[in-house]
Amino acid sequence: MTTSVSSSTSDDNVIKNVTKNVTKSVTAKQTTVVVKRHGFMRLLYTCKHTFNGLKWMCRNEAAFQQEILLFIPLTVFACMANISAPQSAILVLALLFVLFAELVNTAIEVVVDRIGLEFDTLSGLAKDIASAFVFLSMLMAAIVWWVILWA
């Protein structure tokens, strides 16, 4: 009987130690401190996160890759064309707006997928609206290019 009592006490101690370790682990995760940076360090970390986002888009998002492949030669063309500097800037900004729209579209898709991968009508609608945003940005860019170069 003594053996069973000590075994029970030993098991209880093991359970208490595991519980303490799990509680410490959960508490450590809950008490993660977010550091608010200021000044130059904030700018530095903002640039780092921006670079990480653009790098991820270039490696993983096919639509963004295709848009970059159009952006580069069209930007070179806009800068070398026989038009004024403000017109060249407007052409490049129109192209940048398409990239911006693709970034927003992908961000919405990632957040919707983060919430859940099962089919949901509102999730699909959010993705469709974000896709329409990209389409409209491309249409706007095409109109700007047409007006500046041929109108």
Q: Residue 102 in contact with residue 138, Cβ under 8 Å?
A: no
Is 102 in the active site? Answer: yes
Of the candidates 61, 102, 109, 118, the residue annotated as catalytic is 102
The one-letter amino acid code at 151 reads A
- Those residues whose C-beta lies under 8 Å from the C-beta of residue 102, and which sit 6 or more positions away, are 57, 61, 63, 64, 67, 134
Q: At what angle do helices 85-115 and 121-150 cross, to 10 degrees?
A: 170
User: Of 143, 42, 34, which Cα lies nearest the Cα of 95?
Assistant: 143
Active site residues: 102
